[in-house]
Amino acid sequence: MKTINDFDFKGKRALIRVDFNVPLNDKFEITDFTRIKAATPTIMKILSDGGAVVLMSHLGRPKDGPEGKFSLRHLVSHLSEAFGTEVKFTEDCIGAEGIKMSTNLKAGEVLLLENLRFYKEETKGDIDFAKSLAEHGDIYINDAFGTAHRAHASTAVIAQFFEQKGCGYVMQAEIENAQRVLESGERPLTAIMGGAKISDKILIIEQLLDRVDNLIIGGGMSYTFFKAMGGNIGNSLVEEDKLDLALTLIKKAKKLGVNLELPIDSVVADNFSNDANTAICMNNSIEEGWMGLDIGPQAAEVFSRVVKESKTILWNGPMGVFEMENFASGTKAVAEAIVEATKNGAFSLIGGGDSAAAVNQLGFGKDVSYVSTGGGALLEYMEGKVLPGVAALED
């Protein structure tokens, strides 16, 4: 697969698939610039080469055609500031007006296309829609790793219409960092899996058991393990149909010599609310009417110790309901341990999604080795699945 460094963009139009699916507040202001900052080096490289840039992205999940709240027009002023040049905008990602604008772009100019998902053909992977999009550029660059696991028109189908195609710096970094964990991570290698459900993480857990020294399980999924082992988990989240699977994973970890760490204790609450009554409870004896919403202080201490002794760390999923202040301590403790390990020479990969949100929210984004921009895509890549957006660049 070629990278952006393999091309000379002078006098060329680069059509770049970026992931500008960024959060907006009720005033349509961007509240998290992570994805825009990540894509900026790719865009600036092309502009500095003397090329022109055409950007395409989706935003949100519009249901039936154009919706004002999902218009990429809201991003124009922010992007103009980020790139240090006026960003032009076309209200249709295909059609004569947009093609005329992209055709007339001069070196150093940037054009943003309207939301790709205003057309259902985008998510359906429609070949004619992809062909129309392809008219906007001479060279195709995919830098949207976060959507690389989707077989959409702009990620998987469009590449066939270009002789020159490759990945941008974001896509390149995502793949290289994932491979570093999977193939060449220094030992001890620790994976931290959190979030609500085992079913969301089963494939990556099974993949990692063959590679890691330590597997830390936190978040809502941990209570399925405790119930499977005969514990009382009160009203905590549980997947009844995954109890046998939990026991199988425990046995597999033991057989492979993997240190499987489950949280000893939890911060429990009598209601799913930041204002609920709380207590600290051992995870095999949670009373009825109470639910675990964060790992407890003992678990945080054990998890932190394991993390600090690690040389390679993968983190995907929070330790509790970190969005609520009273249940964020466990996630914060793990994040602080990862930061300390990184300062001491460890390589740390934060696996997108809620983990990335937590790290950035806590202000630790610059203190870890790499924060992934693609939660689902990274998981699927590390599960060993073929990502359509990556495969399309390898033809």
Q: Quick one: which of 253, 243, 181 has its CA closest to 215?
A: 253
Edge-to-edge strands, sheet with 291-295: 278-282, 265-269, 291-295
3-state secondary structure of 321: coil
Q: Quick one: which of 63, 66, 126, 69 has its CA closest to 91?
A: 66
3-state DSSP helix/strand/coil percent for the chain, to nearest 5?
45, 20, 40
Q: Which helix (H) or strand (E) holds 171?
A: helix 169-184
Burial letters 14-30, b for 16+ CB under 10 A, else e: bbbbbbbbbebeeeeeb
* Helical pair 169-184 and 375-382, crossing angle rounded to 10 deg: 40
Catalytic residue numbers?
Answer: 35, 197, 353, 376
DSSP single-letter state for residue 289: T
- Amino acid in position 84: G
Where does residue 81 fall: left (phi above 0), alpha (psi -120 to 50 degrees), or beta otherwise?
A: alpha
Q: Quick one: which of 7, 72, 61, 5 has its CA closest to 35?
A: 72
DSSP single-letter state for residue 240: G
In whole angstroms, give the CA distance from residue 222 to residue 138. Answer: 50
- Please report, in angstroms and rounded to a whole number, the separation of the first and last CA atoms in the chain: 8
In whole angstroms, give the CA distance from residue 341 to residue 350. Answer: 13
In whole angstroms, give the CA distance from residue 359 to residue 31. Answer: 15
In whole angstroms, give the CA distance from residue 51 to residue 114. Answer: 21
Using DSSP bridges, classify how beta strands 189-193 and 214-217 pair: parallel, antiparallel or unpaired.
parallel
Q: Quick one: which of 198, 200, 216 has its CA closest to 305?
A: 216
Contact indicator for 232, 284 with CB cutoff of 8 Å: yes
- CA–CA distance from 338 to each of 8, 45, 385 (Å)? 39, 32, 27
